[in-house]
Structure formats: C-alpha cells, structure tokens
A and B are shown apart, each in its own frame.
Chain A
C-alpha cells in the first residue's frame, strides 16, 4: 500500500482521561513521544499523550493549510507554517534581537539571558519539531560516546556506540533513512555485517559534484594530523528508492516508504521530489515527521491523544519521590488566556517535550533536582555560514535542501583542543545567510531597475551560482549553558517561560575559527568569490582572537537532563529514567550528554527505542 492511513485527532475527552489510570502518560507528541507511545501501545499498554498544540485531524488537506500559510508568509522561518498560539507559544528566529550588555531580553517567548543569544527554535504542534527538521540522520561517531576518555574533554555516555547499534537500526527503519552505508563506514562508523539503509542514497546534486570535483582529496593539517577532505552524501530521513539489500533486515520483505499521513487515501509522499524547502516543510510529506509514527501509535487502539493541553506541573509525592500526577491547562482558543486545569494519573510518566520544554516543566514544577543539574548542559550545534559565487552556473536551487557535505573532520586527535564539525553544501543557495532568493529579487528590482525578461535572466544568473557552506560545529556540555525559569516571566496561560543562558566556550570558537579558515581555502580551490560577511550588529555576532563571526543556531537543542552513570553527576540513567523519581522518564535530546557532530534526531530516536524496552519490561513486571 502506498499511503499511511491514520487519523490524528483527539480521541478521548478530559473527563474520561481524568477517570483513567494510564500505564503511561506522555507529555509531547514529537518523535520521542510518538515512538514511546507506539512501542507501548502496540504491546497493549494504555497510553495517554498530552499535546500542547492544536490536534486537528491532519489529513492531507489539513497539512495543506500549513503549506499555504508557509507559502504566503513573509518570513519563511521554521515556524512559519503554524498559526500563532498564545497558549503554547514557540520561539521564532525572527524574534531574536541583539542583547544590550547585562540585560535579558524577554520580548519573545524564549527569554534570552545571554551573553549570547540563540535563534534556535522548536515547534509546539502535533509531531513536534520533526515537522521542520531538515531530516539529516547521521549516526554519532563511536568516539562521541567517550569524549572524556578519548579526548579528555566533555563527558562519557553511560552507554557506548555498540549498545545503541540495534536501536539505531530500529530508528532508521522507522524514520525511513535513505543513504549509503559504505560512505558512513569510511568515516569510522560501524554497522552490522551486510547492513544497508532501508533506501538508496539521495543522489548528489550537480552542485555537490562540482564542489567534489574541486575539493576532493584536499589535505588538511590539524593538530599534527593530516585529514583528507572528501564530499560524501548524508543519510536522510526522506523517501527514496527502497534498497533490495535491506530485505534481510526487514523479514525478507521490500521496505515500503511511509507516505503522507491522511485519514483518507492520499497517495503522496512515497518519494522525495527534490523540492528545496525541506525546512521548514516538505510539500509532499516525503520527509519523515513524527506524525507518521503517531498515526501508527493511535491505530493500535491503546493510545489516546489530548490536544490543546499544556502540561503545567509534575506533582510528586514527597514521601516516596514518585510522580503522582501531571496537571495540565486546557485552552479552547489559541488567542485567549482562558483555560481550565485538569490532571491525569499514570503508572509511568514520560516527559517527551524537548530539551527546553522538559527542563522548563520540571523547573516550573519546583523539581530542580538535588544536584541542581536540571536545565544545565544545554547544547546545540552552532553554525558558521560561508557563502560565495561559483565561477560557473552550478544549478543551485535544485534538489533537496542538502544532499552532501564534508564529514572528514568529524573525528580526530584535534578534538582535545578544538571542536569537530560537519559541513553542509546547501542546495538552496544563500537563503540562510542573506535571505536569498527574495533579497536578490528585491535588489535586482530596486537597485538594477530590471523587470520582465531582464529580471528573470538576472535572477537566474545570480542564484544559480550561489554556494553556501554551513559548518555545524560541536558544542560540549557546559554547566553554565542552561535553561532556568523565573516567576516574573510567564506566558498567557501563566506557565513560566524558559530563560536561556548561553555562551560558546573557546573549544567551540577554535572550531569556528578553523572552519572559517577552511572555507577560505576551499573557496580558493573552487575559484569561488567569497561574499561572506559577518555584521557586528548581527544578534549572533561573536569576536574571537580579533576576528568576528555571525553564529546561527542549529535547532539541535539537547542536554538539560543529561544521562550518566551516577545520580550525583546526571539527571537520568541510561534508560532515561529520573534518578530521583522512579516512575518518571525524561526522554529525548535532553538526555544526551554530548551530541558530537550529528543531527540529534536519529540518536534520540534510538534512545527512545532502548527506553521503550525498559519501560515495557518494568510495566510488565509490575515493578512500577
């Protein structure tokens, strides 16, 4: 069958939910919550999901309203497809302002306490931030799990790469990964013998091939080691051509790509069409988003979803340390502050909001943890952008937003002193850096006075040579990078808003400075005219060793409730279970103690599969 049937809508009322003791109550319907709900629901456990955002049936025509809003929006930021919601506000990159020294900025939902501001965002809608994730799905490098042991920086995970391998396989099945395993192996990532991704790799674009022709084989010296630059494709969570070699990993059957979620048969999204606006929204649903998993979870018949319900307080029985119930605020009008409060009971509670919202909810519930680590070690991938014009027409704007890049500097001895990074070749030109192609259009009209055929020709000539390299730089866990709450910063429903304190350590800045040097070198090799410019008034502007850089947020928000071996240096254990509350799990990117140079979604999905096993065995053994 070439469609995902499913219906996503509220399927229980508040009174019925209040009268039930669920096996598991999950906060958030993003990928973590959807995977856990599906895994528990299909084993017969009764699950309730609380979703802060609206939960209309997202049929194809419902999804189309997201698209129409995005198409007509002036700002094409990550959250452009969604209606403004005062009850469950979300950060938008356009909110970001340069901070006045020493003063927090509380104008927008995310309170920025500095010293740096971040323009990272997340979505509070059904399916969570996977709605606008770019869908790159690289596994983490084995050494990323042992940063302290191997490189003397950061932290070790309580698990190793090999512990996560079987769960990576599961996550790649669920997300529907297209990619080339051989290319990933060449980076030093181990796979099961004979393993291939469910679908063949997304073909590199013409732009990728031009860049590869110019830079492949370039040798880079860093920290006494020589690294060879090679352009390789990224594994991606978008539908491609099923790989027949995957049959042994799928009970002998062909992999069937999961297409558009719809309550009726839509026959769409079975294959990526190469639209370039994967972020923020795939027009055909060929890109994975968590609604695909959520639809399956609801179809088990054991999972209930309550929408427009913002979890507001985790209630703990202080005698036992166990979570007793979760309070939530129900709103009917996203434009109004009117709400009522209800609460829900369960045997197990799982916070699966995201790194920021999980920590915010715990802190707002008065649960900072005895070690005070709740909300600390906030991580993200800061990006440095470098852009220029190729010497020839390069076909920019063709293909998905990114198909290939440089992964050659994701590991190495240099990580003692300097952040690793991965580099994206952006098929969508300078958009992220300059607002192209809109800004090109305006300048051709206003400054060059062109119209009609002249305008079209000039636009094509400017856009089709654009090259943008995005350096995704590692940021290690720092206790000072954190989420807090303060009673004087609340949203329309009276929920405390997240306050972010954020800075980039020298380790990361070393990586950023090195990235800038490398970009210059690569541009020289390619004959690219460098147009990169970092404005001192840019909110993300940072000076380091006499040079200035404009840093962008990566939307890979992680940390805040990191996992560890011991209760004194972490918030959750390897199962993502709270050290202090035995029936509370904090799931998702917040549990990751390091994020290396991998986009976080695949790894957090793998962690959730691992966690689902331990929750179901505990529920079954009545030990909870």
Chain B
C-alpha cells in the first residue's frame, strides 16, 4: 500500500485507514507509560496521560466514522495494524521513533514530538522532504520529482485528508464520495465516557468537524495552546509535565500560569523498553501473562472492529474490555522479568504471537 496524493476515493480510504492506524499506534505507548507509574504517585502525570489516551481513542473512532462515511471498511484485525516497536508513525513522520517505554523524561520528549503542532507556514502542503533514509511502516507520499515526502505533524496529515476530500467532492459530487451507510456511524449515544463529543460523519461538513476536533485536541487551535472549545491540546498537556505547571486557557506558549505540579521520575516501574515475547523465558508465568494480554488485546481489537463495521451498539461493551486490559497490563508491569537484570515486564502488543 502506498500513500499517494489523494486523487481517488480509493486513496482517500487508504489515508483514512492509515489515520485509524495512526491514532491507534500511540495507544500502546501511552498505556505502557501510564501503567508504568507506581499506583498512587505522579497523580498529575497520570491524569495527563489518561486524558490523552482517552482522546486518542476518540480520534480513532472519529477516523473510523470518516472511513465508514466514504464507503470504506474498518478492520483493526489486519496483520500489521498494530505496529512493531520502535516504530515511525504511520503518517510518515520519520524524524523520530516511538517506543513502548516507562515514564521518563525521554518518553515525555517523544510524546511532545508525536503531538507537535503543525508548521504550515514552513511546510506549505504539510509535506517535508525526507532527510534520512529510514523506513516507516507505511510507504510515504511521493513528490512529483519522485522523492519521498513526509508529514511533519499529525495535523498536517489530517489537513491533507481534508484537502483530498474537498477536491474529490468538487470533482465527483459530495453524494458520490460520502456514500457510506449512515447506520454504520458511531453516534454520541454509543460513545461512552470522555474525550469529547463524537461527531457522526455524513457529509463534507461533518467530516471537517471531525478533523477539526482531532487536530485541535492534538495540537491546539490556530497556534494557540487550546482548541476551539478552550480545551488544552495534547502537546501543551505534555508540556505541563515538562514545565511543572498547568496551562490555563488563554496562556501564551511556554508560559503556563496554572497550579504547579510535581513529577517524580523515581516512582516508576523499570519497564524494559519495547519488550518482546522473545525476551521472556519459556515456561515462566510472566510469559504466560504476556501471552494472555496479547490474546485479550487481540480480542479487544476484534470487538472494536465489529462495532466500527456496522454494529455501533457493540462499542459500549467493547470499551468495557479496557478494564481487563488495564488489569493485565498492571500485572505484567509490576513483575520483574526472570533473568532480566531487574527490568520489569510489560505488554508486548504483538498480535502475531497469538
């Protein structure tokens, strides 16, 4: 699969599938970091990570709505849907890699990179030329002269989707592009708990609304720290942990004026970065537990697929599976790896192992 500039509905669907994959790709990393924190400590960081993870799930749902709206099919069970870590982001950002790792200053830097605001004034269409020769898990757009192009930020990636939609609607008519069955949409009554409002997507206007929500929650609105609803964006939420102080709506960049907050980098389980099943000795309980986690996670993705593939009423029970995921992840993270030099286990998110 290759991401070309959006000139057909098929390419649009590929982009939207990549968008779902992108939103999901951050979840293993945010959850690993979140659950690596000692219970009862780092309460502010726990809140920030929890909110961001919850909103990524909202974004994934919004992208699924968009894909359904343009007649695509959502399948989170495809091989390769869950990235192997370390990974580049599926939208083609290649100047940094994402790990599954413990709560640390390095992890925080990565999160700031993931959520960094767009720089449209510098990047024009949001694409920058690849300076390295690294391989992303998805092929990236190709420029007219043939070199690989990359999206600098998630916001720019979504901007490209919006431009593509607008272009296609103009060329073929809105009804031809937004040809999906409206009954497949996840509407607010099925979207349970937090992260903001779900937008059902039926046409270009509602698709724009969904994209606006995703981009602003991630990066802020028109360069501000908050979105249109005055909600602090992910980038600045993470920046709060770095600055040791909460942002309030209206604050300038780099100048939070809210309550101070404390981060304790020591109150963290020493989770092994990007742990794989192959790091866990055969016959150990921790290996069994890691396998169990992967089974449950695979089942979770399968049940989300059912909900996103025409049965939105199945979303609420599917989300209930998150409680089990949390419990199993916490068990792994609290336990050292046998013979692992004191490093602790973690979920491996290797769907191919089950």
Contacts and interface: CB of A to CB of B under 8 A. Distances in A.
Nearest to B247: A264
A270 B259 contact: no
Interface in A245-274: 259, 263-271, 273-274
B44 interface: yes
Interface in B225-284: 229-232, 237, 240, 246-248, 258-259, 261
Given A1-B229, A1-B231, A64-B43, A273 B259 contact: no
Contacts of B54: 267
A271 B50 CA distance: 15
A3 B229 CA distance: 11
Interface in B311-354: 320
Contact of A267 (B40, B51, B246, B259): B51
A271 B47 contact: no
Nearest to A271: B193
Interface of A is mostly: loop
A313 B231 CA distance: 45
A259 B194 contact: yes
B230 A241 contact: no
B55 interface: yes
A568 B347 CA distance: 71
A242 B193 contact: no
B176 to A, nearest CB: 31
Interface in B170-219: 188-189, 192-197
Contacts of A2: 194-197, 231
Contacts of A267: 51, 54-55, 194-196, 231
A270 B47 contact: no
B40 to A, nearest CB: 5
Contact of A1 (B188, B230, B246): B230
Contacts of B229: 1
Contacts of A241: 188-189, 192
A271 B259 CA distance: 26
Given A1-B231, A241-B189, A266 B259 contact: no
A3 B193 CA distance: 12
Contacts of A242: 188
A264 B259 contact: yes
B246 A61 contact: no
A59 B260 CA distance: 12
A494 B240 CA distance: 45
Nearest to B258: A264
A562 to B, nearest CB: 41
Interface of B is mostly: loop
Nearest to B196: A2
Contacts of B240: 264
B194 A268 contact: yes
Contact of B43 (A61, A259, A265, A273): A61
Nearest to A64: B43
Contact of A61 (B44, B196, B231, B237): B44
Residue in A2, A64, A270 whose Cβ sees the most chain B Cβ within 10 Å: A2
B51 A264 contact: no
Interface in A558-581: none
Contacts of A1: 229-231
Given A242-B188, A264-B248, A271-B192, A57 B259 contact: yes
B40 A68 contact: yes
Interface string B32-56: 0000000010011001001100110
A263 B258 contact: yes
A242 to B, nearest CB: 7
B47 A263 contact: no
Nearest to A398: B320
A259 B195 CA distance: 11
A60 interface: yes
A264 B43 contact: no
B259 A263 contact: yes
B51 A268 contact: yes
Given A57-B259, A59-B259, A266 B246 contact: no
A2 B40 CA distance: 25
A241 B197 CA distance: 12
A271 B196 CA distance: 11
Nearest to A273: B193
Interface in A412-459: none
A71 B50 CA distance: 20
A2 B55 CA distance: 11
Given A61-B43, A61-B44, A242-B188, A265 B232 contact: yes
A270 B194 contact: yes
B47 A60 contact: yes
A270 B246 contact: no
Nearest to A268: B194
Interface string A55-69: 001011100110010
B193 A270 contact: yes
B288 to A, nearest CB: 12
B192 A266 contact: no
A58 to B, nearest CB: 12
Nearest to B54: A267
A266 B47 contact: yes
B47 A61 contact: yes
A278 to B, nearest CB: 16
Interface in A124-168: none
B279 to A, nearest CB: 26
Contacts of B194: 2, 259, 267-271
Interface in A42-90: 57, 59-61, 64-65, 68, 71
A241 B246 CA distance: 30
A6 to B, nearest CB: 12
Contacts of B196: 2, 267
Nearest to A264: B246
A64 B41 CA distance: 10
Residue in A59, A263, A274 whose Cβ sees the most chain B Cβ within 10 Å: A59
Contacts of B192: 241, 271
Contacts of B231: 1-3, 265, 267
A3 B246 CA distance: 15
A241 B240 CA distance: 32
A259 B193 CA distance: 10
Contacts of B50: 268
Given A57-B259, A59-B259, A265 B51 contact: yes
A263 B189 CA distance: 28
Contacts of B246: 263-264
A270 B320 CA distance: 15
A269 B230 CA distance: 18
Contacts of A271: 192-194
Nearest to B320: A274
A270 B51 CA distance: 12
B243 to A, nearest CB: 13
Nearest to B43: A61
Nearest to A57: B259
Contacts of A71: 40
Interface in B1-57: 40, 43-44, 47, 50-51, 54-55
Contacts of A3: 231
A1 B228 CA distance: 10
A264 B231 CA distance: 10
A57 B246 CA distance: 14
Interface in B71-116: none
Nearest 10 Cβ contacts at the A-B interface: A61-B43, A271-B193, A264-B246, A267-B51, A64-B43, A270-B194, A68-B40, A241-B189, A1-B229, A265-B232
25 contacts: A1-B230, A1-B231, A2-B194, A59-B259, A60-B47, A64-B40, A64-B43, A68-B40, A241-B192, A259-B194, A263-B259, A264-B240, A264-B247, A264-B248, A265-B231, A266-B47, A266-B51, A267-B54, A267-B55, A267-B195, A267-B196, A268-B194, A271-B192, A273-B193, A274-B320
Given A61-B261, A263-B258, 20 more contacts: A1-B231, A2-B196, A2-B231, A3-B231, A59-B259, A61-B43, A68-B40, A241-B192, A264-B240, A264-B246, A265-B237, A266-B51, A267-B54, A267-B194, A267-B196, A267-B231, A268-B47, A268-B194, A269-B194, A270-B193
